[in-house]
Chains A and B, each alone.
Chain A
Amino acid sequence: MTAAELPVPGGGTGAATATPSLARRTAAVFARNKLALAGTVVLAGLLALCFLGPLFHPTDQVHTDLARANLAPGTGGHLLGTTDLGYDMLGRLMYGGRTSLEVGLAAGLLATLFGTVYGAVAGYFGGWLDAAMMRITDAALAIPALFLLVVVAAIVTPSKPVLILVIASVAWLSPARLIRGEALALRSRDYVHAMRLMGGGGGRAVFRHIVPNALGTVVVNATFQIADAILYVAYLSFLGLSIPPPAADWGSMLSAGITYTQVGHWWLIFPPGIAIVLVVAAFNFIGDGLRDAFDVRLRKD
């Protein structure tokens, strides 16, 4: 007798298609943001340059060749010139970029992952657990990050995994605090209450409801985290506390080139500098675009 209300979504025959998933709608909104799209293109270009470039432009980045040192761009087949030790600059940009991107991405993602879970757990369970967990982050935040990084990097010999861990150990604090705030708000939502009344526990609440609903914040924050992590790598190696030579990254390339600015060897400075600016800006634009996309994705269209 209760005739179903007529215009029910999905009320048609089997042919009725399901609503596109949230991920797809988010992507659609993201694609409309020109700046974010440009960021994506730039990032894709840089990744291709660093990881695919050496296939088309193989260079020796291990052995020094002082005979071909300090060549200006365009001379002797070196598109971007050579360094003071005779490495091909374009090849080194690719080679160093790998370190910067790998360490930056890995550290940023690791920090986001750990921080998200940490913050969600603290925020959802609340009480003394939250108080204890948050005092730990407060204490850690009180130490200047760069100072901590310098000290740690000075004690252990840096390698890629060490660098990732060191940077992540500082960077997880901000997502942890951010997601905790989000979790505090989400845990009092009726759908979390509803799940608890079904008999569900904390694990389900955190991983099925809190984290997924905070995903927008998490993803947006992750892009900024990665950008920050890439900058941290640059700081450290600029200070000479990064992976020792002959390995390189954009920060150590800057550091090495800075000596020659007085004599006009601009090609040692600009390529790594511009690369750093581009990648950081790209991640920030992507982050902004994602934030807008997550904002609107739940609206009725």
Chain B
Amino acid sequence: MTTPLLSIEDLSVEITGRGRTVQALERVSLDLAPGEALGIVGESGCGKTMTALSVLGLLPGGGRITGGRIRFDGTDLAAAPERTLRDVRGHTIGMVFQDPLTSLNPTMTIGAQVAEPLLLHTGASRAAAREKAEDMLRLVGMPRPAERMSHHPHQLSGGMRQRVAIAMALICEPRLLIADEPTTALDVTTQHQILELIDELRARLGMAMILVTHDLGVIARRVDRVAVMYGGKVAEQAPVHELFTAPRHRYTQALFAALPERAAGRDRPLATIPGLPPALDTRTTGCRFAPRCGFATEECQEREPRLSRSGGTAPGHVFACFHPAGPAPDDDARTEPVPLPSPRPAARKDEGTLLRLTDVVKDYPLRAGPFARRRGSAARQVSAVAGISLTVRRGETYGIVGESGCGKSTLGRLVVGMEAPTSGTISFAGRDITALRGRELRAHRRDIQLMFQDSYAAMDPRMRVGALLREPLAVQGIGDRAARRDRTARLLDDVGLPRGAADRYPHEFSGGQRQRLGLARALALNPALIVADEPVSALDVSVQAQILNLMRDLQREKGIGYLFISHDLAVVRHLADTVGVMYLGKLVETGPAEAVLARPLHPYTRGLLDTVNVPDPRVAPAAAPLGGETPSAAEPPSGCRFRTRCPLAREVCATTEPPPAEPATPGHRVACHFPLPGVASGVSVG
């Protein structure tokens, strides 16, 4: 290997705060050659962001480097004074953060912000800096850069803001780019565009990159080498192909196995990693993954494994594990952590229709002020849901997929009755629920419950878990005090939490546990349908698998139907029987999950599938990923709403709205003038 550009040696970081000290990083060593791309992956709290921040000397308050060196280009950044670090930041090391809105200054114009690093570091003249900034905006693919220069961040979409952040990071032509979850807050299609952009710029400018992410899909095709972190240490480091085909560390192996994409089959539960990552505030002996590892022995508890090579691995592949997985690309990773043969799905008692939506429309008026409506009769409105019809059967999982702003959450709110539709009917078990009032509506509430994306926000922080779980029963006047207590205990059993949890407050639980509590509360009234709005999108892969398995088990046991709303195709594919793809308030394609996701008929569905970041570097990149951005729902395109981004659009698409049709198989409907032939998608996610 040539002289590394960045060399981190035995870096240890401690963070002190609220009376305790957390060993955030312990003896982390990483090398990065000039022009090389290194991915750092791991679950939240494993130290990956901390590693990136220490390189820049930007540790959070109370954090300090307690040992080790960070050699960058001949200087030790760990020991360097603030002056040196300031000179490095944004100059020779560029950085891109997760949230493009908070990392841009809302009061400064785009042009001024992009030019700022240049003025700070190179002493370029104002005019020259502006000119360079405009060039940079053009380079990152900003349409009409000259015009955008005078805009403010709020006038741009999330994807465009991230482009601005990248332009800022690259304007001084750094030798190293640190990107910390640069696409996590973005939609799949935008995510793809940004990652492509980074790739392209990197190739052109010859930069090295550290890409920090929790998303194995993102890392698969974008980096040369991957470091897997766990509990503040590097667990495994390998060239990307090597890592994805033959992970050696048991943690890496378990992490891959938990991906919904790697599930053995739709009827099999996902492999999970029991427990939680360590809290790092107590010193442990032995391997940090040992408490959650199915292969741990006494040796793992007592001695700490060192990063080392072993026979049969490629050069540069090191791991810290006493009982590694076999060196051959083995398939036991996929099947072996599934201990129980999953029960056959119980024959559904009743295949009858549970929920039926007919031409449901929801418009939100856009008003400037209290008198605006009177002024103009042509009041502007946002067309959030535009004529959706769908049917959910008893015990079925109906998955709704789409990008943000497509109206999928509004649809969920309409179904649970949080909002009333502008027109159309929603009927549940044969009754029109939009007409229900008072006592009847109250009784109906038992049948449909909502599982929130953020269960913590949906729980009164003042109430103990017991009181939270009893509340639905109290509201509906079910049972006496003793019966409710009893029910609470059984609900906790159902979701796999100890009964003692009833005496705790919600803030004492981890994200996954809160999601279990959210599910328990939704189950309290024995609903026939649970609307789950992105229930696992905030969770780490291993915990996500636990929740998905739990949802599936409870469905089998109790025959609940789910309306499962998600942006994640892999999750929907794993759980859903039927899938509806939404675009700008319309269902563009519906049908059995296997059919829709394997042989899409609508160009949008195909585009979505092709843009997904498959966590497998062997999968070739898709030919035609979706370009452009979703238009505003306040001014939807005429005719087919997708035509502005559709590669197949013709004149008729702009004039006539395509009616739903079933050109391929019965039950597989698509609303498109020129449906695809329905051949298997180039990318197989399952």
Residues of A within 8 A of B (CB): 1-12, 14, 16, 18-19, 22, 189-191, 193-201, 204, 208-209, 212-213, 215, 298, 300-301
Contacts and interface: CB of A to CB of B under 8 A. Distances in A.
A199 B445 contact: yes
Interface string B418-443: 10000000000000000000000111
A194 B446 contact: no
Contacts of A2: 272, 496, 546, 549-550, 553
A4 B459 CA distance: 21
B276 A6 contact: yes
Nearest to A215: B462
A4 B475 contact: no
A198 B460 contact: no
Contacts of B147: none
A223 B276 CA distance: 44
Contact of A199 (B292, B443, B499, B500): B443
B504 A3 contact: no
A201 B508 CA distance: 28
A200 B464 CA distance: 18
Given A198-B472, A213-B462, A301-B18, A1 B457 contact: no
B445 A4 contact: no
Interface of B: 18, 269, 272, 274-276, 279, 291-292, 339-340, 416-418, 441-443, 445-446, 448-450, 452, 454, 457-462, 464, 471-472, 475-476, 496-505, 507-510, 512-513, 521, 525, 543, 546, 549-550, 553
A195 to B, nearest CB: 7
Contacts of A208: 460
Nearest to A213: B462
A181 B79 CA distance: 50
Contacts of B445: 197-199
A298 B340 contact: no
Given A10-B501, A19-B508, A194-B452, A200 B475 contact: yes
A196 B450 CA distance: 11
A204 B454 CA distance: 22
Tell me if A's interface is mostly helix, strand, loop or mixed. loop
Nearest to B416: A197
Contacts of B450: 193-194, 197
A10 B500 contact: yes
Contact of B454 (A11, A190, A298): A190
Contacts of B461: 191, 213, 298
Interface centre among B272, B276, B458 (most CB of A within 10 A): B458
Contacts of A5: 274-276, 510, 512-513, 543, 546
Nearest to A7: B276
A2 B520 CA distance: 14
B340 A1 contact: yes
Given A1-B553, A212-B462, A195 B471 contact: yes
Contact of A209 (B446, B460, B510): B460
A18 to B, nearest CB: 3
Given A8-B501, A18-B504, A195-B471, A189 B275 contact: no
Nearest to B507: A300
18 contacts: A1-B549, A3-B496, A4-B498, A5-B512, A5-B513, A5-B546, A7-B276, A7-B279, A10-B498, A10-B504, A12-B500, A191-B457, A193-B418, A195-B475, A198-B472, A199-B442, A298-B507, A301-B18
Contacts of B501: 8-11
B546 A11 contact: no
